[in-house]
Structure formats: structure tokens, C-alpha cells
């Protein structure tokens, strides 16, 4: 199954293109309902009694089909529909006509212990889930030990992942053909449980006409862009990453980024250190070089050092002198056509005049803010604020700044100025530890140094960051992340 994510509108187009190609809509609904039943039976084989709540649209039609297949598997099924079956239309009406059992009303439905198929509303819901529909779901949720959502749990906006009024958490969510953004974005993602994508016969060829721009971040998204070391190459061919250090007492973040860049595969890594921090940095580095670079000399050091990628921001500081230093680093990067990663304090320094800073950045720039830092660079009136999804905010911001943007969080979004965006789903909660973002900046820099394009480097770095944390497990601290990369690379057959 591909890693494309389809909005509700794009999924509608996939359905329509398949139907226009000769597959009846009723056949797609039959396969969808059968897929829901098969997934429920496989995941909860011990459950003998199923409650099925059907809504007024195609999601409800899927529920009628699922109920029929559950009965065919020897299960006892009680079904209720939000509206009289006479009011159903299209394929949903057809699906209801294939159900031989009684149809109860939501008002009268009394769920019994067992499982629940939530087929009330699908991914297209944008109005609040309340009233009779929510009351019936809430009552059923109390007595049912297993809940299966059809497409998404009712009440989740499939495109934004936002909860529309209320939503009942599922233990298993069965969707069709491709995931929606809501399957990857919080808060909706937290209510999905296990997610299964059922094949209902929509051909992958429809994607060429839809041209989706959103993806779940997975290795297949960026593997083709991966730059493996040239057997006949040398360390400079693998790139030289320069990490700009803060002053005395603020050097740890730069060293974390440097270690991350080295483990990610940069051929060389140098910490560009202010004079007052030279001893502090040199005492704690071995394979990583240290170069003295103050505000007045950093441009020359970068120009003469055969550096291909720069990182600035981690531990840098937020004063006027640091602002001058950042200006000169950005100027040197743009002048030399270097790749640039900005993080942490860089965003505070840029936040006073972000629109003035963006034109100074080279084309291969990656910004890695968390939500608070993001708000310093991009005002809500420009990005839509809470009125749009996290995915859309990141996309708009990437277009504004002209850079690849990594909006960090439990559902990190990587967005490119051309509209492509990926949502990461492999980050464990152990990544919420001091310094992990500095290591991520280093991972991005190491991959950029190897020659990977900015969007793919951002996606790969974020995925590898999550995989490294998963590999280590509990007790993770930032220093552990780079040391897990060899195991992660081996598991993914990367080098």
C-alpha cells in the first residue's frame, strides 16, 4: 500500500474515477463492508455479538454490508439506522436492501455487550456530532468491549483530524484504498486505534489523475533520493557539515547536532566555535573538528573550509551579537550555494522581522521549529491559525518562506514550497527530551551534506529520528539517538 494521503475530496475523485471506469459503486460498497467485517473478525475473533450503528450516507451503507457479512460468519448482529431506510439513497439504499434483519432506530437501540461497528459518519463530516447520533454512540461505547470505526471514528474530520463536537475512540479503524490525513494528525490519530487499509479494488492508476501532495512519512517516500556513499569517493564527497556553536556555557546543543550530522553520514563535521568556547568544545570532541569562528571571521571560515552544509541556532543565544553572527552565516550560505538548517535560537532572532530574513536564505534551507517557534515566524492571520489543519499551516508557511519546513511535534509535518507535505507517524513519546531537536537538526544536515534534496532530507531525518528512539526504547536521552543510527540503517538496508 502506498504512502499517499488523500483528502476527502481526493478520495471522492478516486471513487468517481473507478466508477467511471466500469466498477459499480455498489460493488465498491460491497467490498468496503466486507473488508470491515473481515478486519473485525480477524482482530476480535472471540466476539460473538456485534452492534452496528449506521448513518444516512455511504458510511452507513458500508455498515449494512458489514452486518450482513458478520451474520454470514455466524455472529449475532443487532443493527440500527439513524434515519428510516426509506430515506436512504443511492448505494446506501442498495446496501440496506441486502440486509434481511430488523432495523432499529437510534432512539430505541439498546446496545448489548460485545463489539460495535461505528458506521454513522465517515471522513467527510465537518459539522458537530451531537444529538441522537452521539447519544447512541456514547451509550454503545459504554457496554461494548471492542469498537471498530468505518473510515474514521464518527466525529473526526478526515482532512484535518479535528474532532467535530464529539467522537468515540475506536480500537480498530478500517479505511479504504489510502489513509486520510486524519489518520496521521492529532487529535484524530489518538482516537483511531489500530488502522487497517482495506483494498476495495480502486486501481493505483487513479493517483496519476489525482496527483496527491500529502503523504505519510515512510521510507518509500524518500528511498529513491537516498545518496549512498560512492565506493571510489572520499570524505569530502560525502559532504562537510559546519555546526555554529554558541558561546561559553552554551555549546552542548551544537555538539549534539554535530554528532547527529556525523552519524547521519556527513563525511566531515566541524563545530564553528566562538573564541571563548574553543576549549569547552575541543575537550569534548574527537572525530568532530573544531574551528575558531567569531562574528567577524565566520564568513571567511565557511568560505575557506570546504563546508557544504551549515547548522545555526542550537544554543546560539539571542542577543544582538548573535543576530549579527546569524546574518553572516546566512549570507555565507547563500553566497556559496550551501545548504542550511536553522533551529532553536535562530527563530527568536528571526522573529523580529521574519519577512526580512526569508529572502536571505539559500534555496536548500530547512527550518525545524516546534509550535512555539513556528508562531514567532508565521502569524496566525497568514497561515490560517486553528481554522486550518496542522498540515495546511505547514504548507502555507513553507510557501511563505520559500524553504522546507519541519514543524516538529508528535505528528511532525515536513512541507515543501511546492505543496508537497508528509506527516510523520513513528515518533515515540520518549523523544520529548532535552536536546532531541538539536540531534534532529544534525540528522537533517548530515543528509543534506550527502547530497539529498531538502524535502527528502527532512522527511528521512524525521523518520530516522523516530526509528532511532524506537530502537533505543525507554530511558532515552538525546545522546543516545545518533548511536542508534547504525542499527536503524541496517534494518532499513541503508548505508
C-alpha to C-alpha distances, 313 to 255, 342, 402, nearest whole angstrom: 12, 6, 19
Secondary structure letter of residue 362 according to DSSP: -
* Angstrom distance (rounded) from CA 208 to CA 81: 37
Q: Which DSSP string corresponds to 269-293?
A: EEEEE-GGGHHHHHTT-SSSEEEE-
3-class SS at 320?
helix
Report how far residue 57's alpha carbon sits from residue 32's, in angstroms, rounded to the nearest whole number. 14
CA 473 and chain centroid, separation = 20
- The per-residue pLDDT for 232 is 67
DSSP annotation string for 436-491: HHHHHHHHHHHHHHTT--HHHHHHHHHHHHHHHHHHH-TT--TTHHHHHHHHHHHH
β pairing state of 114-119 and 104-105: unpaired
The CA-atom distances, in angstroms, between 469 and each of 237, 422, 458 are 29, 19, 17
DSSP H helical ranges for 275-389: 278-282, 298-304, 320-336, 345-350, 354-357, 371-377, 380-383
Q: Are 67 and 103 in contact (CB under 8 A)?
A: no
At residue 39, what are phi and psi to the nearest 5 degrees?
-65, -40
Q: Does the N-terminal peptide bond of residue 179 adopt cis geometry, omega within 30 degrees of 0?
A: no
Domain ranges, ordered by start, for the chain: 4-212, 219-491
From CA 411, how far away is CA 186, in angstroms rounded? 7
Chain-centroid distance of CA 4 in Å reads 12
Residue 71: exposed, middle, or buried by beta-carbon count in 10 A (0-12, 13-18, 19+)?
middle
Q: Listing from the earlier edge strand, what are the strands of the sheet with 144-150? A: 104-105, 76-81, 49-54, 114-119, 144-150, 172-176, 194-198
219-491 — its CATH code?
3.40.1190.20
Q: Which residue has the cell 543516545?
A: 480
CATH class for the region spanning 4-212: alpha beta
Name beta bridge partners: 52: 79, 117
Contact 227, 295 (CB under 8 A): no
Closest alpha carbon to 120 in 59, 178, 170: 59
- In degrees and rounded to multiples of 5, residue 160 shows phi and psi of -100, -20
Cα 345 to Cα 247, 314, 415, distances in angstroms: 13, 6, 21
| Mean pLDDT estimate for the chain | 97
Give pLDDT, residue 375.
96
**For residue 387, what pLDDT is reported?**
79
Which residue ranges in the chain fall short of pLDDT 70?
232
Give me the pLDDT at residue 42, please.
Answer: 99
Q: 13: burial class by Cβ within 10 Å (0-12, 13-18, 19+)?
A: middle
Nearest-CA neighbor of 228 among 267, 256, 259? Answer: 267
Amino acid at each position: 500500500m502506498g504512502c499517499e494521503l488523500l483528502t476527502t475530496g481526493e478520495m471522492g475523485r478516486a471513487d468517481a474515477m473507478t466508477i467511471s471506469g466500469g466498477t459499480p459503486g455498489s460493488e465498491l460498497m460491497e467490498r468496503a463492508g466486507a473488508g470491515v467485517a473481515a478486519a473485525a473478525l480477524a482482530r476480535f475473533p472471540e466476539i460473538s455479538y456485534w452492534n452496528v450503528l449506521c448513518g444516512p450516507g455511504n458510511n452507513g451503507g458500508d455498515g449494512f454490508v458489514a452486518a450482513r457479512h458478520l451474520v454470514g460468519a455466524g455472529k449475532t448482529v443487532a443493527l440500527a439506522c439513524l434515519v428510516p431506510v426509506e430515506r436512504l439513497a443511492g448505494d446506501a439504499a442498495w446496501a440496506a436492501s441486502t440486509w434481511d434483519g430488523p432495523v432499529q432506530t437510534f432512539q430505541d437501540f439498546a446496545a448489548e455487550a460485545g463489539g460495535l461497528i461505528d458506521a454513522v459518519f465517515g471522513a467527510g463530516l465537518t459539522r458537530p456530532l451531537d444529538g441522537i447520533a452521539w447519544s447512541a454512540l456514547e451509550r454503545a461505547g459504554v457496554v461494548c468491549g471492542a469498537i471498530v470505526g468505518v473510515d474514521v471514528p464518527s466525529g473526526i474530520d478526515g482532512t484535518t483530524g479535528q474532532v467535530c463536537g464529539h467522537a468515540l475512540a475506536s480500537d480498530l479503524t478500517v479505511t479504504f484504498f489510502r489513509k486520510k490525513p486524519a489518520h496521521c494528525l492529532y487529535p484524530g490519530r489518538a482516537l483511531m486505534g489500530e488502522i487497517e487499509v482495506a483494498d476495495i479494488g480502486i486501481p493505483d492508476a487513479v493517483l496519476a489523475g489525482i496527483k496527491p501532495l500529502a503523504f505519510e512519512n515512510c521510507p518509500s517516500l524518500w528511498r529513491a533520493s537516498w545518496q549512498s556513499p560512492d565506493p571510489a569517493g572520499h570524505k569530502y564527497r560525502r559532504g562537510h557539515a559546519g555546526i555554529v556553536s554558541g558561546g561559553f556555557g552554551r555549546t552542548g546543543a551544537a555538539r549534539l547536532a554535530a554528532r547527529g550530522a556525523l552519524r547521519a553520514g556527513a563525511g566531515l563535521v566541524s563545530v564553528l566555535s566562538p573564541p571563548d568556547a574553543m576549549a569547552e568544545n575541543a575537550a569534548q570532541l574527537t572525530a568532530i573538528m573544531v574551528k575558531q569562528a567569531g562574528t567577524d571571521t565566520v564568513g571567511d571560515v565557511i568560505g575557506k573550509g570546504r563546508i557544504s552544509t551549515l547548522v545555526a541556532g542550537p544554543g546560539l543565544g539571542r542577543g544582538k551579537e548573535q543576530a549579527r553572527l546569524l546574518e553572516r552565516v546566512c549570507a555565507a550560505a547563500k553566497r556559496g550555494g550551501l545548504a542550511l538548517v536553522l533551529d532553536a535560537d535562530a527563530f527568536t532572532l528571526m522573529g523580529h522581522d521574519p519577512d526580512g530574513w526569508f529572502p536571505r536564505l539559500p534555496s536548500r534551507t530547512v527550518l525545524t521549529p516546534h509550535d512555539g517557534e513556528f508562531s514567532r515566524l508565521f502569524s496566525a492571520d497568514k497561515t490560517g491559525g486553528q481554522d486550518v489543519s496542522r498540515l495546511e499551516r505547514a504548507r502555507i508557511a513553507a510557501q511563505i518562506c520559500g524553504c522546507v519546513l519541519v514543524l516538529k511535534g508528535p505528528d511532525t509535518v515536513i512541507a515543501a514550497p511546492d505543496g508537497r507535505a508528509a506527516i510523520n507517524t513513528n515518533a515515540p513519546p520518549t523523544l520529548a527530551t532535552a536536546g532531541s531537536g538539536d540531534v534532529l537538526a544534525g540528522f537533517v544536515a548530515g543528509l543534506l551534506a550527502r547530497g539529498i534534496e531538502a524535502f527528502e532530507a527532512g522527511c528521512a531525518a524525521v523518520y530516522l529520528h523516530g526509528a532511532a528512539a524506537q530502537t533505543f526504547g525507554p530511558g532515552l536521552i538525546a545522546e543516545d539517538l545518533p548511536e542508534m543510527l547504525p542499527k536503524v540503517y541496517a534494518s532499513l538496508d541503508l548505508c
